[in-house]
């Protein structure tokens, strides 16, 4: 008995924007309870920062602080981590933020 086709459980949004003199590429992949955001520019093959942020838990009616950590990094920069914290807190989902850096 053939099964019914199912709808995809994720969506991908891509766009490119001119920022000063650089073409900035953005890709957002949304899942049911999480999202992955990638940002980069043309000709950038150097690994950058990968961070993950979890939505804040609620304990006895009080919202605690958002948990986040940097998983992969080439430098001491917390932009990906801070962006993940803000998005996880606002949308109540897990966020993975990956930014490419040009050295």
Residue 13: predicted pLDDT? 93
* Percentage of residues of the chain with pLDDT beyond 90: 16
Question: What's the pLDDT tens digit per position in 33-82?
Answer: 889 988 887 766 556 788 899 988 877 777 778 888 888 877 777 788 88
Residue 103: predicted pLDDT? 38
Would 83 be classed as within a structural domain?
Answer: yes
Residue 15: predicted pLDDT? 92
Instruction: Output 66 or 15, whichever has higher pLDDT.
Output: 15
pLDDT at 86 over 70: yes
Residue 47: predicted pLDDT? 61
Task: Indicate the pairing of strand 34-41 with strand 94-99.
Answer: parallel
Number of domains composing the chain = 1
Would 6 be classed as within a structural domain?
Answer: no
Would 4 be classed as within a structural domain?
Answer: no
- Domain around 44: 11-99
Residue 1: predicted pLDDT? 56
Would 88 be classed as within a structural domain?
Answer: yes
């Amino acid at each position: 008995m053939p099964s019914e086709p199912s709808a995809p459980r994720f969506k991908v949004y891509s766009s490119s924007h001119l920022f000063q003199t650089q073409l900035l590429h953005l890709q957002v992949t949304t899942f049911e309870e999480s999202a992955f955001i990638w940002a980069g520019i043309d000709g950038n093959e150097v690994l950058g920062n990968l961070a993950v942020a979890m939505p804040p838990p609620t304990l006895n009616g009080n919202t605690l602080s958002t948990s986040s950590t940097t998983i992969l990094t080439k430098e001491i920069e917390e932009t990906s981590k801070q962006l993940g914290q803000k998005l996880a807190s606002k949308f109540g989902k897990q966020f993975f933020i990956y930014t490419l850096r040009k050295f």
